Chain A
């Protein structure tokens, strides 16, 4: 327990908290737009795919540009795009696709800035970026919920603008931007192989995230609890990895998630424990990529988001409805991730 508490005393951990709030607000705005656009229309499923592609895939390019031009204020550029896109949507001035494009790109810029700030200030620790990433889950569910309410656009715009001091303050924590101290991958493997395998893990986890059997999730309250546990899992992954070691957390969380996810289809508490374990590997895959791309954390982060997009694409077109087939797919994919973690991660990290 003391080890876990010590994580909260790590140097510059405040960057994680700052970007937790920024990430939360950004996702609230993005998912409010999506919720209002899509509503219950089954024919508008293309809009979330459009948004995901822009927000996730562009992070690879933005990340590399941000790595090469460190003085570029990526966070502020992202906020401007986000607010402009949101206002255009709110006042119905342009096609909704243009609004979604601006909002998605704004989201991508801010994500890259969050990754750069938290990775550069963390001195090889994971908690910073894990806390930053976890804010998104809370923002997604909040955005979805208030999207169906009649909350004022001006109020949401002010909420978006409230992130400016947080972005500027977080920027002051950037340390020397030359090279990062992450080192959790064995040197026996080629860098290209590590990149491909880490992206496979991210894609597999992304696909599985949509396939998790949650028949119990029927009310708004249960949906909120589900997203809260996802967010907690993401943050805990980084915190526990710093306290007890990356490899231990990666393997144990992958193994422990399986039975809870499969048995918990109809039992909320059991399923939530599974979701908590399942979400823990997010920060670990990021640290694998940053360990090999030490000069380009922005690009490394962008590769994880491309993996997320690639994993989610099949879900837009078809879903496995048979519980047993779905369960078998989850078990096989989890085993693939487990083997990759075991082979690639260094012992004792």
Chain B
């Protein structure tokens, strides 16, 4: 199991620790960015729906 490799193989941890940290930071930034983009889109859609409702 890969989890076991992660915990028990020091050589393995040494070889992946830098890319692993990079990956975690990258994913955090990407998820925060995508979340904010979706929030922007949602507010835009709400605005459009509001305008449609007022026009009706």
Which chain A residues have a beta carbon within 8 Å of chain B's beta carbons? 42-43, 45-46, 49-50, 53-54, 57-58, 60-61, 64, 97, 191-192, 195, 292-293, 295-296, 299, 302-303, 306, 316-318
Are the C-beta atoms of B34 and A316 separated by less than 8 Å? no
CA–CA, A264 and B50, complex, Å? 51
Are the C-beta atoms of B37 and A299 separated by less than 8 Å? yes
> 10 smallest A-B Cβ distances: which pairs?
A60-B34, A64-B37, A46-B16, A57-B30, A97-B19, A317-B3, A61-B33, A317-B2, A43-B12, A191-B45
CA–CA, A42 and B9, complex, Å? 12
Q: Which of A50, A191, A293, A317 contacts B23 (CB 8 A)?
A: A50
**B18-55 vs A, Cβ < 8 Å mask (1 yes, 0 no):** 01100100110011011001100110110000000000
CA–CA, A302 and B6, complex, Å? 29
Q: Which of A42, A58, A97, A295 contacts B41 (CB 8 A)?
A: A295
CA–CA, A204 and B55, complex, Å? 40
Are the C-beta atoms of B19 and A60 separated by less than 8 Å? no
Q: A46-B19, A61-B34 are in contact. List 10 more A-B contacts (CB 8 A).
A: A50-B23, A53-B23, A61-B37, A64-B34, A191-B42, A195-B38, A293-B41, A295-B44, A299-B38, A317-B6
Listed A/B pairs (8) with beta-carbon separation below 8 Å:
A43-B12, A57-B30, A57-B34, A58-B30, A295-B41, A296-B37, A306-B31, A317-B6
Are the C-beta atoms of B34 and A303 separated by less than 8 Å? yes
CB contacts (< 8 Å) of B27 on chain A: these are 53, 57
CA–CA, A293 and B3, complex, Å? 37
User: What residue in chain A is nearest B37 (Cβ atoms)?
Assistant: A64
User: What residue in chain A is nearest B36 (Cβ atoms)?
Assistant: A64
Which chain B residues have a beta carbon within 8 Å of chain A's beta carbons? 1-3, 5-6, 9, 12, 15-16, 19-20, 23, 26-27, 30-31, 33-34, 37-38, 41-42, 44-45
Q: Which of B5, B26, B42 contacts A192 (CB 8 A)?
A: B42
Are the C-beta atoms of A318 and B34 separated by less than 8 Å? no
Q: Which of B2, B12, B30 contacts A60 (CB 8 A)?
A: B30
CA–CA, A295 and B40, complex, Å? 12
CA–CA, A318 and B34, complex, Å? 27
CA–CA, A64 and B37, complex, Å? 7
CB contacts (< 8 Å) of B16 on chain A: these are 46
B56 to chain A, nearest CB (A): 14
A212 to chain B, nearest CB (A): 20
CB contacts (< 8 Å) of B20 on chain A: these are 46
A310 to chain B, nearest CB (A): 10
CB contacts (< 8 Å) of A295 on chain B: these are 41, 44
Are the C-beta atoms of B30 and A61 separated by less than 8 Å? yes
B38 to chain A, nearest CB (A): 7
CA–CA, A61 and B31, complex, Å? 9
CA–CA, A302 and B41, complex, Å? 14
**Which of the listed residues B12, B26, B27, B34 has the most CB atoms from chain A within 10 Å of its own CB?**
B34
B26 to chain A, nearest CB (A): 7
Are the C-beta atoms of B33 and A43 separated by less than 8 Å? no
CA–CA, A64 and B40, complex, Å? 11
CA–CA, A54 and B27, complex, Å? 8
CA–CA, A60 and B31, complex, Å? 9
